[in-house]
Amino acid sequence: MEDRPLDETELVARARRGELAAYEEIVRRYQTIVFRTAWFITRSAADAEEAAQDAFVKAHAALGRFREGAPLRPWLLAIAANEARNRVKSAARREQLAVRAAAERRPGDAVPSPEAALLRREDQAELLTAVARLPERDRLVIACRYFLELSEEETAGVLGCRRGTVKSRLSRALGRLRVGVETADA
Protein backbone atom coordinates (compact mmCIF):
# COMPACT_ATOMS: atom_id res chain seq x y z
CA MET A 1 0.00 0.00 0.00
CA GLU A 2 1.09 3.58 -0.58
CA ASP A 3 1.78 6.04 2.26
CA ARG A 4 -1.15 8.38 1.63
CA PRO A 5 -4.43 7.05 2.98
CA LEU A 6 -6.67 5.87 0.17
CA ASP A 7 -10.27 6.94 0.02
CA GLU A 8 -12.95 4.32 0.30
CA THR A 9 -13.89 4.28 -3.38
CA GLU A 10 -10.29 3.64 -4.35
CA LEU A 11 -9.90 0.95 -1.71
CA VAL A 12 -12.99 -0.81 -3.01
CA ALA A 13 -11.77 -0.53 -6.62
CA ARG A 14 -8.41 -2.02 -5.67
CA ALA A 15 -9.97 -4.77 -3.58
CA ARG A 16 -12.20 -5.64 -6.54
CA ARG A 17 -9.10 -6.00 -8.68
CA GLY A 18 -7.80 -8.56 -6.20
CA GLU A 19 -5.51 -6.40 -4.03
CA LEU A 20 -5.81 -8.14 -0.70
CA ALA A 21 -3.96 -5.34 1.11
CA ALA A 22 -6.70 -2.93 0.06
CA TYR A 23 -9.37 -5.19 1.47
CA GLU A 24 -7.41 -5.63 4.69
CA GLU A 25 -7.41 -1.85 5.03
CA ILE A 26 -11.19 -1.89 4.67
CA VAL A 27 -11.39 -4.53 7.41
CA ARG A 28 -9.08 -2.45 9.61
CA ARG A 29 -11.29 0.63 9.19
CA TYR A 30 -14.56 -1.07 9.96
CA GLN A 31 -13.76 -4.03 12.18
CA THR A 32 -14.66 -2.28 15.44
CA ILE A 33 -18.06 -1.00 14.36
CA VAL A 34 -18.87 -4.29 12.61
CA PHE A 35 -17.85 -6.35 15.64
CA ARG A 36 -19.77 -4.16 18.10
CA THR A 37 -22.87 -4.19 15.93
CA ALA A 38 -22.71 -7.98 15.80
CA TRP A 39 -22.19 -8.03 19.57
CA PHE A 40 -25.36 -6.04 20.22
CA ILE A 41 -27.31 -8.62 18.22
CA THR A 42 -25.71 -11.79 19.61
CA ARG A 43 -24.57 -10.41 22.98
CA SER A 44 -21.76 -12.94 22.83
CA ALA A 45 -18.21 -11.86 22.01
CA ALA A 46 -17.43 -15.27 20.50
CA ASP A 47 -20.50 -15.27 18.25
CA ALA A 48 -19.95 -11.64 17.31
CA GLU A 49 -16.37 -12.38 16.30
CA GLU A 50 -17.48 -15.28 14.15
CA ALA A 51 -20.26 -13.23 12.57
CA ALA A 52 -17.96 -10.29 11.86
CA GLN A 53 -15.32 -12.56 10.36
CA ASP A 54 -17.80 -14.34 8.10
CA ALA A 55 -19.36 -11.01 7.14
CA PHE A 56 -16.03 -9.64 5.92
CA VAL A 57 -15.28 -12.82 3.98
CA LYS A 58 -18.73 -12.83 2.35
CA ALA A 59 -18.55 -9.12 1.61
CA HIS A 60 -15.22 -9.71 -0.14
CA ALA A 61 -16.82 -12.40 -2.31
CA ALA A 62 -19.70 -10.03 -3.09
CA LEU A 63 -17.63 -6.93 -3.87
CA GLY A 64 -18.39 -7.37 -7.56
CA ARG A 65 -22.05 -6.67 -6.80
CA PHE A 66 -21.38 -3.67 -4.58
CA ARG A 67 -22.69 -0.50 -6.18
CA GLU A 68 -19.73 1.67 -7.13
CA GLY A 69 -19.56 4.93 -5.19
CA ALA A 70 -22.11 3.87 -2.57
CA PRO A 71 -21.02 4.08 1.08
CA LEU A 72 -19.45 0.81 2.17
CA ARG A 73 -20.21 0.95 5.88
CA PRO A 74 -24.02 0.49 5.72
CA TRP A 75 -23.53 -2.45 3.33
CA LEU A 76 -20.97 -4.12 5.59
CA LEU A 77 -23.12 -3.54 8.67
CA ALA A 78 -26.18 -5.06 6.99
CA ILE A 79 -24.19 -8.17 6.03
CA ALA A 80 -22.74 -8.45 9.54
CA ALA A 81 -26.17 -8.02 11.14
CA ASN A 82 -27.49 -10.81 8.95
CA GLU A 83 -24.64 -13.09 9.99
CA ALA A 84 -25.16 -12.16 13.63
CA ARG A 85 -28.89 -12.85 13.53
CA ASN A 86 -28.18 -16.33 12.20
CA ARG A 87 -26.09 -16.98 15.30
CA VAL A 88 -28.54 -15.80 17.93
CA LYS A 89 -29.18 -18.70 20.27
CA SER A 90 -32.35 -18.28 22.27
CA ALA A 91 -31.07 -20.34 25.22
CA ALA A 92 -27.61 -18.81 25.39
CA ARG A 93 -26.54 -16.66 28.29
CA ARG A 94 -26.45 -13.05 27.16
CA GLU A 95 -23.41 -10.98 28.07
CA GLN A 96 -24.01 -7.55 29.58
CA LEU A 97 -22.06 -4.36 29.07
CA ALA A 98 -20.80 -2.26 31.95
CA VAL A 99 -19.77 1.35 32.19
CA ARG A 100 -16.02 1.78 31.91
CA ALA A 101 -14.17 2.26 35.16
CA ALA A 102 -12.62 5.68 35.79
CA ALA A 103 -9.16 4.23 35.17
CA GLU A 104 -10.26 3.34 31.66
CA ARG A 105 -11.29 6.90 30.86
CA ARG A 106 -10.14 7.95 27.44
CA PRO A 107 -7.14 10.21 27.04
CA GLY A 108 -8.17 13.82 26.75
CA ASP A 109 -11.34 13.45 28.85
CA ALA A 110 -11.71 16.03 31.62
CA VAL A 111 -10.97 14.61 35.04
CA PRO A 112 -14.05 15.10 37.24
CA SER A 113 -13.98 15.39 41.04
CA PRO A 114 -14.31 12.00 42.78
CA GLU A 115 -17.86 12.85 43.94
CA ALA A 116 -18.96 13.99 40.50
CA ALA A 117 -17.41 10.91 38.92
CA LEU A 118 -19.23 8.65 41.37
CA LEU A 119 -22.59 10.32 40.75
CA ARG A 120 -22.05 10.19 37.00
CA ARG A 121 -21.19 6.51 37.11
CA GLU A 122 -24.26 5.74 39.24
CA ASP A 123 -26.45 7.69 36.85
CA GLN A 124 -25.01 5.86 33.84
CA ALA A 125 -25.29 2.48 35.51
CA GLU A 126 -28.97 3.15 36.25
CA LEU A 127 -29.61 4.17 32.67
CA LEU A 128 -27.78 1.10 31.39
CA THR A 129 -29.89 -1.12 33.64
CA ALA A 130 -33.05 0.52 32.31
CA VAL A 131 -31.90 -0.08 28.73
CA ALA A 132 -31.07 -3.71 29.56
CA ARG A 133 -34.62 -4.22 30.86
CA LEU A 134 -36.16 -3.16 27.56
CA PRO A 135 -37.42 -5.72 25.04
CA GLU A 136 -34.73 -6.86 22.61
CA ARG A 137 -36.23 -4.86 19.74
CA ASP A 138 -36.13 -1.59 21.72
CA ARG A 139 -32.68 -2.27 23.10
CA LEU A 140 -31.24 -2.87 19.66
CA VAL A 141 -32.61 0.27 18.02
CA ILE A 142 -31.34 2.37 20.94
CA ALA A 143 -27.94 0.69 20.78
CA CYS A 144 -27.69 1.34 17.03
CA ARG A 145 -28.63 5.01 17.20
CA TYR A 146 -27.07 6.16 20.49
CA PHE A 147 -24.37 3.68 21.51
CA LEU A 148 -22.97 2.84 18.08
CA GLU A 149 -24.07 6.18 16.64
CA LEU A 150 -25.21 4.62 13.38
CA SER A 151 -27.14 6.70 10.86
CA GLU A 152 -30.80 5.98 10.20
CA GLU A 153 -29.85 4.27 6.96
CA GLU A 154 -27.29 2.08 8.71
CA THR A 155 -29.73 1.27 11.49
CA ALA A 156 -32.37 0.30 8.95
CA GLY A 157 -29.86 -2.07 7.33
CA VAL A 158 -28.94 -3.61 10.66
CA LEU A 159 -32.55 -4.04 11.75
CA GLY A 160 -33.67 -5.18 8.31
CA CYS A 161 -36.41 -2.57 8.08
CA ARG A 162 -37.18 0.71 6.30
CA ARG A 163 -35.83 4.05 7.46
CA GLY A 164 -39.29 5.23 8.43
CA THR A 165 -39.67 2.18 10.63
CA VAL A 166 -36.43 3.08 12.43
CA LYS A 167 -37.94 6.43 13.44
CA SER A 168 -41.16 4.97 14.78
CA ARG A 169 -39.42 2.06 16.48
CA LEU A 170 -36.94 4.41 18.14
CA SER A 171 -39.68 6.73 19.31
CA ARG A 172 -41.55 3.85 20.96
CA ALA A 173 -38.34 2.50 22.50
CA LEU A 174 -37.47 5.90 23.98
CA GLY A 175 -40.98 6.20 25.36
CA ARG A 176 -40.67 2.87 27.12
CA LEU A 177 -37.19 3.74 28.35
CA ARG A 178 -38.43 7.03 29.75
CA VAL A 179 -41.11 5.19 31.70
CA GLY A 180 -38.53 2.67 32.93
CA VAL A 181 -36.15 5.41 34.09
CA GLU A 182 -38.93 7.37 35.81
CA THR A 183 -40.18 4.22 37.54
CA ALA A 184 -36.68 3.48 38.81
CA ASP A 185 -36.31 7.07 40.08
CA ALA A 186 -39.66 7.07 41.87
Q: Exactly one of 6, 19, 66, 147 binds another protein (CB under 8 A); which one?
A: 147
Q: Exactly one of 13, 63, 127, 161 binds another protein (CB under 8 A); which one?
A: 127
Nearest-10 Cα torsion for 166, 169, 172, 178: -60
**CA atoms of 65 and 16, how far apart (whole Å):** 10
Stretch that binds another protein, among 4-12, 68-76, 90-98, 161-169 (CB under 8 A): 90-98
**CA atoms of 54 and 75, how far apart (whole Å):** 14
Backbone angles phi, psi at 17, to 5 degrees: -80, 0
| Interface characters, 3-42, with another protein (x: CB under 8 A) | -----------------x--xx--xx--xx-xxx--x---
**CA atoms of 174 and 66, how far apart (whole Å):** 34
**CA atoms of 25 and 71, how far apart (whole Å):** 15
Stretch that binds another protein, among 4-12, 69-77, 126-134, 161-169 (CB under 8 A): 126-134
Stretch that binds another protein, among 1-9, 68-76, 132-140, 146-154 (CB under 8 A): 146-154
Q: Is 75 in the site for another protein (CB under 8 A)?
A: no
SS (H, E, C) 132-168: HHCCHHHHHHHHHHHHCCCCHHHHHHHHCCCHHHHHH
Contacts with another protein, residue ranges (CB under 8 A): 20, 23-24, 27-28, 31-32, 34-36, 39, 45, 48-49, 52-53, 56-58, 60-62, 65, 82, 85-91, 95, 97-101, 104, 106, 123-124, 127-128, 131, 142, 146-149, 174, 177-178, 181
